[in-house]
Structure 1
Amino acid sequence: MTSSPVLTVDLSEWRAGGDAARVVCRAVDASLQEAGFLLVTGHGVDPALPLELRAAAREFFGLPGTVKEQYAVGVGGRGWIGPGREANGYAEGTQTPPDLKETYNSGSQTRVGNATVDDYWFAPDVWPSETPALRELFTRWTAAMKALSDELLALMSASLGLADADNPFRDLAENATWTSNINHYPPLSTTGAPESGQFRIGPHTDFGTVTILDREPGAGGLQVYSEAGGWADAPYHPDALTVNIGDLLEYWSGGRWPAGRHRVLPPQPEAPEEDLVSLIFFYELNHDAVVAPLAPPIGARAPLPPVVSGDFIKERLDAITVG
């Protein structure tokens, strides 16, 4: 734990300002340069909320497959994404077997009045009548995660000396797109023995700006990649949320911060009944936001051309869909 490149920062110290905030900013920059990941404490999220949401999600995932199939959607849709539909390793060009998981998904509902845009980025959520608590709890959780994501973007910008009016994302996320997944990783007795190269989630980077993860640790849990140490179990603290940056934020930083490469191990033989549920919030920007990468000396690469957030994300979502 102490040797991990993934550092822990306390958001209450960032909010306090002064020297404490400057220490946090230095840690954020260092951790993101090394691994693209952080652990974040002091976030203020009610600890009861993820516990209640997990319980409601487990109730849904425990329903018969014929019932869940009523809510089935493809990758990027709103509803249930069943086993065998997604292979995150495809995003790296690796033809891996499908990921060993199922997902319930919701997304941003702030439609803009353009049918083509709204149908893709702001599609209606689907809520199962069999588990009515899921809607209220999931909606509360995603609202908290959106507010936290905006704060994290401000913190990350300040960590580069770009605070307040200099924050380049300040006016690019008023109506940001986002997706939230509840991932269920079933036990070995349900999935059967993994195929060669098969994971609960294959090695990949996320696609947007920041990802927030509330996770349950396990033998078949999250691993993070760094150039210095290769693959290693992600550090865990019960009061912390795990945060990583995605491809869009790597691009914006001019390569200073690599997108956090990660994977979730398959069910392990020594823990055959391990059954985990992770809560994940993927944040982006306005669908039409133009992202102009930071040039040196802040950025680490020669100036890169601007990209449009929605185009950038959609290309990557299409790549991980099986079939």
Structure 2
Amino acid sequence: MSSADFTSIPILEYGLLARDRAAFLSQLRHALIHVGFLYLRGAPVDTTSVIAQIPRVFALPQSSKDALSMRNSEHFLGYTNLGTEFTKGALDMREQFDFATPHQNEWKEGDPEYLRLWGPAQWPSDEELPGFREVVEKFYVDTDVLAHDFTGLVVEALGLSHDALSDFFEPPGHMQHRGKIIKYPEVKEGASNQGVGPHYDSGFLTFLLQASEQRGLQVQNFAGKWIDVPPLADTFVVNIGKGLEALTSGIALATSHRVLSPPPGSGPRYSVPFFQMIAQRVVLGKAAASLTFPPDVLAERDRRGNPTTDSVNYTEYDTTPAGEVALIGRIKSHPDVAERHYPQLFKAIFPQGLPREVSAY
């Protein structure tokens, strides 16, 4: 079967590492180069506790959720109400909270504006939602450890030296990664079923916990067909971001994906993505030239070819610091936040003022 015809997402067993490391790395290499998505089963992260918290946060009174509005945060962290984002001109139907790993902002006057993007998240109070922050923050910290370890496996699978990606992360205590808790409500009769439209993720790796039984996630293969990625017990869905694709000169492949809203009567879909970020000052296009891949990896990429899908490319990575790419994406997705906290950048991107439809893609 050619890579253009993949019809399912490979499942990698984390426990295989201890039994047959070479086999695991071979499977990982195939997923990186030919699919861009994989299931990772058996990773050492507690998911049960965070799943139990999800209905609680969405059950908060609307006034409590609105008090955590992303508009309060120069870091673009907080609550976003249902039906306020668009992808490729179509309305996304999802309600969400943007959170992040712990971080104290280090921006100072004269620094690039994009360094303001990392900082403390907004959390429900412990009085209103006891234990929520502790559980969710621990989940993201633990997933950060998993992502760091998995990045080392990516490096090994692609035949690079063990420290090949170390310059693209900040030292401990100076790095922040982001996450969301998302609710996709049931689609209304006669309405669009777009939970979120076709897109790529921007960073290095995404670890997605599908936190309910409702399907909806789909990946686009290189022939343009949409492939279901149903929830599987004890798994993360891991996918390649455009940042890692750019850094590896297209060897590791970012793949277009979308989420369809649950059908009427099925209940809401919940998901918890973790987005592994990139050191903000790095220009990935320049950095990519410093990596040398072994001939067998390059040959495998060449056999795959250069597939294209109908999502939008992050071409800014070629010449722009990764932090600026991330900030531009946030401004396009949430111009109301940018208007309040980044007025000059807002005017440069939206000279006519707040648009009626907002989309990063």
Tell me, yes or no, whether TM beats 0.5.
yes
Asked whether the 8 Å contact 2:68–2:123 carries over to 1, the reply is yes
Q: Would the aligned equivalents of 1:78 and 1:107 in 2 still touch at CA under 8 Å?
A: yes
Distance 1:73 1:112, change over 3 A: closer
Looking at structure 2, the residues matched to 202 and 73 of structure 1 have their Cα atoms a distance apart, in angstroms, of: 21
User: Residue 159 of structure 1 corresponds to which residue in structure 2?
Assistant: 157
Matched, 1:64 2:61: yes
Question: 1:168 & 1:140 partners in 2: Cα distance?
Answer: 25
Structure 1 residues 266 and 120: alpha-carbon distance in aligned structure 2, compared to 1, 3 A threshold: same
Letter in 1 for 2:94: K
- Hey, what's the Cα distance between the residues in 2 that align with 1:305 and 1:200? 30
Question: What does 1:72-87 correspond to in 2, within 5 Å?
Answer: 72-74=69-71, 77-87=76-86
SS of 1:284's equivalent in the other structure is coil
Per-residue Cα deviation, 1:109-136 (whole angstroms, up to 9, x for no partner): 3335324556421244333442122101
Residue in 2 aligned with 1:34? 34
Alignment of 1:182 with 2:181, yes or no, is yes
C-alpha deviation, 1:308, in angstroms = 2.3
How many angstroms does 1:227 deviate by? 0.8
Structure 1 gaps of 5+ residues are none
Alignment correspondent of 1:43:
43
**In structure 2, C-alpha distance between the alignment counterparts of 1:73 and 1:109, rounded to whole Å:** 17
Root mean square deviation, CA, Å? 2.8
Q: Cα distance, 1:68 vs. partner?
A: 1.4
State the identity %: 24
Question: Equivalents in 2 of 1:307, 1:236: separation in Å?
Answer: 36
Match of 2:313 in 1: none
Aligned pair partner of 2:93 in 91, 100, 111: 100
Distance 1:263 1:194 in 2: 20
Deviation digits for residues 59-87 of structure 1 (CA, Å, limit 9, x no counterpart): 12112322311111159622211112222
User: Which residue of structure 2 aligns with residue 54 of structure 1?
Assistant: 51
Q: Which amino acid aligns with 1:318?
A: I
> Structure 2 length as normaliser, TM-score?
0.74
Q: Does 1:317 align with 2:320?
A: no
Instruction: Count residues with an aligned counterpart.
Output: 301
CA distance in 1, matches of 2:138, 2:180: 14
Q: How far 1:152 sits from its partner (Å)?
A: 1.4
Q: How many Å apart are 1:96 and its aligned residue?
A: 1.1
Name the structure 2 match of 1:144: 142
- Name the aligned partner's letter for residue 142 of structure 1: Y
Deviations 1:183-232 (A, max 9, x none): 011224xxx34644x51111111110000011045555111111146101
Name the SS for the 2:70 alignment partner: coil
The aligned amino acid for 1:109 is P
Do 2:117 and 2:327's aligned partners in 1 also have CA atoms closer than 8 Å? no
Are 2:261 and 1:248 aligned?
A: no
Q: What CA distance in whole angstroms lies between the structure 2 residues aligned with 1:194 and 1:258? A: 35
Higher deviation after alignment, 69-78 or 222-231: 69-78
Task: Describe the shift of the 1:260–1:217 C-alpha distance in structure 2 as closer, same or farther (beyond 3 A).
Answer: farther
TM-score, normalization: structure 1? 0.82
Question: Any conservation in 2 of the 1:187–1:267 contact (CA below 8 Å)?
Answer: yes
Q: Which amino acid aligns with 1:225?
A: Q
- Assess if the C-alpha contact under 8 Å between 1:9 and 1:39 holds in 2: yes
**Unaligned 5+ residue runs, structure 2?**
1-5, 307-316, 335-356
User: 2:340 — aligned with what?
Assistant: none
Contact 2:40 2:237 in 1 (8 A): yes
Q: Report the counterpart of residue 348 of structure 2 in structure 1.
A: none
Instruction: Describe the SS at the equivalent of 1:53.
Output: helix
- What's the secondary structure of 1:289's corresponding residue? coil
Task: Give distance in 2, aligned partners of 1:112 and 1:80.
Answer: 20
1:260 and 2:255 matched: yes
Distance verdict in 2 for CA 1:53–1:42, change over 3 Å: closer
- 1:243 Cα deviation from its structure 2 partner: 0.5
C-alpha change, 1:173 and 1:152, in structure 2 (3 Å) is farther
> 2:216–2:259: 8 Å Cα contact kept in structure 1?
yes
- What letter is aligned with 2:42? G
Structure 2 residue identity aligned to 1:79: G
Letter in 1 for 2:244: L
Match of 1:289 in 2: 282
**Counterpart check, 1:8 vs 2:17:** no
